[in-house]
Structure 1
Amino acid sequence: MFDLWSHAGVGAHAEAILARLRAGTMPCDGPWPADRVDAFARWVDEGMPE
């Protein structure tokens, strides 16, 4: 388990989070729209800046 409010925690699990966002299984209250998933993917691709 990790803290989704923690930059380090999210960064350490970014690929797994992105996979779940793309699959629509995260977050638990419903899938994100494609533009938000794309924004997260860009953040990961850009090195996860703070």
Structure 2
Amino acid sequence: LGVLVSLSKKIREQGGELRLASLNEDLRTLFELTKLDTLFQISDDLNGALEGF
């Protein structure tokens, strides 16, 4: 998780955004419990993650 947070920070500094897609139920719950779901856009599928790009 720490690697994802660091990577997301570096990407944002360059004007980008790291989005996650197709997480299984356990991973999604982990992101919710750690409040990382507020840091990342999490989509059900790849098409949802790509919307807005």
- When normalised by structure 1's length, the TM-score is 0.33
Larger Cα-atom Rg: 2
Report 1 or 2 for greater relative contact order, CA contacts < 8 Å, sequence distance ≥ 6: 2
- When normalised by structure 2's length, the TM-score is 0.32
